[in-house]
Structures are given as structure tokens and as C-alpha cells.
Chain A
Amino acid sequence: MSRAGAWLLTLGNHRVAVGVREQVHLMLEPDAAELAGTPAHCRHVIFWNGLCVPVIDLSRWLDPSAQSVRQDQNRHLGVYAYQQDAGAPVEFGALWLAKPPQRVDVDDAAAAPLPEERAGWGRVATACFADAAGAVPILDLPRIFSGALAD
């Protein structure tokens, strides 16, 4: 059995995880700019390290019928690094977070099926584990930031 480090993220009312090396920056009080004419789940950008980084509201994408996410649910931002393929350049995207991420260790034995209450999980997660509080999908960051979630 092997264990791996991960960051446990709270997106609105959902809990998800990313690999420990995928999170590269945390903004507790972010200054994000809203852009008109953009998808409802991706309305903001941040300017970080000379880059224009899109910010995804994954909770909004998972629950599109929600009129608006409470302001305090999009309080912080995590910046994540990903590659579309091995050897491809490293790219960056950000996620709105309701709470600061929590460092956890995940054991292979904790593998679990994706939650069934939302069909969208299959499009944004590569795997899932379970802890005492329930299932935790592991995000597929290259897919999420590729534009595959376009509405």
C-alpha cells in the first residue's frame, strides 16, 4: 500500500482534492477582475507572476441551477499548475475556494467510486477517495482548464 500527499479543497459545498504538487499559490484575499461575456463558471481572471490566470467556480459549474454562490463561499483562491501532456509547458489556472486548503495524506486503500448525486463529477475528476466525512473526488486539472467545460 502506498500513501500520497494531497490538498483537500472546499468548493462551495463540495469537497475535492488535488495532488500536493499541483497547488502552487494561495490567495487569501484575492483581487480578481470580472470579465463580461464569459461563461458563468469562469467569470474572473487574476494577474499573477506576469500571467493572466483564469479563475473557475467549479461549484457553480456543478450546480448550474444555483442563482448565485454566496459571497463567502468564494473567499479565497488557489492557483494550480498543470500540463496537458507530459513534456507540454506548465500552465496555471485558479479555483475559487470557500476555505483555505487542508493538507491530507491519502492511502490507496481509501479509493472509492465517484459520488453519484452529480453527473458532472465524471467530467472533472480522475479518481476518488473516501474519508470519514464522505467521498472526495480528485480533480482532473488539465481537463478543467482546457475549455472542456464550456457551456
Chain B
Amino acid sequence: MDGPSHSAHLVLLHFGRTRVALTQRAVRSLEAAADAAFTATEPGVLGTIAAGGSHWPVYALDEELAPLRDVPRQRRICALLATDTGLFGLLCDEAQVLQRQGLSAYPLPLVMRRAGTPLEGVLQTNDGVALLSSARALAAVVGVDAGAVAALAMEIA
């Protein structure tokens, strides 16, 4: 989970009614979705966004955390998430930074686990629940191709 127990802050990404909590270090930056170029170059990739001198692939998830094949135009934010191989963008409606202290985190109950799920735990917040996940798990769900990420970054370098 990108070391949630060692991070003082969490970032909540909103996908419709669904809220996903990531450690602050998993989120490199929050960009305007309007800054992305929605011209798909790879299957499953909705477009690209420029940051830090490179272009990174952009993806989106629905409320059930399944990959979207069309650009959800209502999503105004593109969260740039960091994996071992580079960055990727994930479109979301809203992003909030929360103090980790005082929030209760639980492992996802065994009976709720599905193969390939990005869910790693449950976070009880002051106003409901959020799903704990990681940049790596979300990258696997959207199908981030490490090779494609590196190629995009090289293109612009």
C-alpha cells in the first residue's frame, strides 16, 4: 500500500461515489484534466499528459474501479501516480488531502477479495468509508504497460 502506516497524509481520489485513498507519496501531482491530450496512442490509454518534461499515459476508472474505454468528460482532475517504472495519469472528479492520524484502517475482509482487485483495505473516515489502494495496484487494473510508459517518456526527452 505504498507504506500507508508511515505516511502522515493520504490523498482521496473520487471516482463518482467511490473514494480511493492513496498515500501522499503515491501521488506525484494533481493536474487539470483539460491539460491532457485525449488522442489514444495505445490500446486502453485514453490520452497523454505532459509533466516534468515527459508525457505520461492517462487512464480512467468507473465507480466499480473497472477501466473506462471512453474519456469521462466530467472528470476535471488528472492525478499523476508514481510506480516503479514511471508515472501515469488517472482521471478523477475530486482529490482531497487527509491527515492520516485518527483515521481507522482495516485490511479488506477475506470474503470480499477478488482476483486482480486493487482494493487493499478499508479506511473509516469522518464522513464515511474509502477504499485503500496503491499506485501499483491501480496501475495493474488499468493495464499500465511499463514499456509504453518508458517509450512515452523517451519520446519527449
Contact = CB atoms under 8 A, between A and B. Distances in A.
Interface of A: 33, 35-39, 42, 45, 47, 50-54, 56, 93, 144-147, 149-151
For A33, A36, A56, A151, the residue with the greatest tally of chain B CB atoms inside 10 Å of its CB is A36
Given A45-B129, A51-B106, A37 B119 contact: yes
B113 to A, nearest CB: 6
Contacts, number: 68
A42 B128 contact: no
Contacts of B109: 42, 45, 52-54, 93, 145
B152 interface: no
12 contacts: A35-B112, A37-B114, A37-B117, A37-B131, A42-B109, A47-B124, A52-B107, A52-B124, A53-B109, A145-B109, A150-B114, A150-B115
Interface residues of B, number: 25
A93 B106 contact: no
Given A36-B15, A45-B112, 20 more contacts: A33-B128, A35-B119, A35-B129, A36-B64, A36-B131, A37-B66, A37-B114, A37-B117, A37-B131, A38-B119, A39-B111, A45-B129, A52-B122, A52-B124, A54-B111, A56-B111, A144-B111, A149-B111, A150-B113, A150-B115
B122 A45 contact: yes
A151 B63 CA distance: 19
Contacts of A42: 109, 111-112
A50 B105 CA distance: 10
B65 interface: yes
Given A37-B118, A51-B106, A146 B131 contact: no
For A38, A54, A56, the residue with the greatest tally of chain B CB atoms inside 10 Å of its CB is A38
Contacts of B112: 35, 38-39, 42, 45, 54
For A35, A53, A93, the residue with the greatest tally of chain B CB atoms inside 10 Å of its CB is A35
